[in-house]
Amino acid sequence: MTLRKLAIVALGAATLTSCNEGNDSLDGAVLTTNWDSLSYSIGISVGNGLKGQKLNEVSPNVIAQGINDVLDSTALIGDEQANAIIGAFMDKQRNEQAAAAASVANGFLEENAKNPDVVVTGSGLQYIVIQEGTGEKPAATDKVKVHYHGTLVNGNVFDSSVDRGEPIEFPVNGVIPGWVEGLQLMSVGSKYKFFIPSELAYGERGAGQMIGPGETLIFEVELLGITKGE
């Protein structure tokens, strides 16, 4: 859940609570009515979201004050300024995460390139041939059927068709640049291990909850088949 979504949920929680004529205390809440239980549950959801984003230092009381001030039309700052503050914080957080990930990734890729089994292409893509197939190679306009297992440099698995037990089919030119390049190196029946730098993956924007800004991605990919494009 993003910071902006949390703010929206929190505002919804305040609106629900304002409809409740029962408990309205911030201390020692007693869940007397259904509105109390719903309001408290939304608070738990918001709190978990803040913890998940490591925003433990935010002040729940100041958040509550901001919500109340909006409802009372007495907010200390306007919506545009509030959005700018949130945006600046998110940009700073993303840049710091990207810089930290890039530092780790650069060291990893530098050491990995010293492995005699690793091939480094002109783009910076690194790969190891685990098994070389004998079939044809796909073009950018083809579709491929693959099994893959994706991890971060720290070993955390972020996606895996192998774990799901079901291969996936997609257009070669419909995925990240590192895959587009790497797949065209493979023959059907091959299994390669790709080390994809951030600039050939999701860059500073990251992807979802698992892939942060600046992350290098590691994939074991088995090319099962090709469907020729028109």
Q: Is 202 a catalytic residue?
A: yes
- Integer Cα distance of 212 and 102 in angstroms: 11
Query: What is residue 31's three-state secondary structure?
Result: coil
Write out the CATH class of domain 105-227: alpha beta
Task: Assign 191 a pLDDT band (cuts: 50, 70, 90).
Answer: very high
* Residue for token pair 């919506």: 79
Mean predicted confidence (pLDDT) in 220-227: 97
- Integer Cα distance of 63 and 86 in angstroms: 13
Rg of the chain over all Cα atoms, to the nearest angstrom: 24
Catalytically annotated residue among 127, 148, 194, 195: 148
Q: Residue 81 has which token pair?
A: 């300024």
Q: Is 176 a catalytic residue?
A: yes
pLDDT tens, position by position, 74-126: 989 999 999 999 889 888 887 887 788 778 888 999 999 999 999 999 999 99
Q: Is 192 a catalytic residue?
A: no
Q: Is 219 a catalytic residue?
A: yes
- Integer Cα distance of 101 and 33 in angstroms: 47
The ranges of the chain annotated as CATH 3.10.50.40 are 105-227
pLDDT tens, position by position, 17-70: 444 444 444 456 778 898 888 888 888 888 888 887 778 888 888 888 887 898
**Is the confidence at residue 226, as pLDDT, over 90?**
yes
What was the pLDDT predicted at 56?
80
Q: Is 159 a catalytic residue?
A: yes
Nearest to 221 by CA among 140, 141, 128: 128
Catalytically annotated residue among 36, 127, 142, 159: 159
Q: Is 127 a catalytic residue?
A: no
**Residues 6+ positions from 106 with CB-CB distance below 8 Å:** none
Catalytically annotated residue among 202, 211, 218, 226: 202
- Integer Cα distance of 117 and 131 in angstroms: 12
- Integer Cα distance of 125 and 200 in angstroms: 8
**Taking the complete model, does pTM exceed 0.75, yes or no?**
no
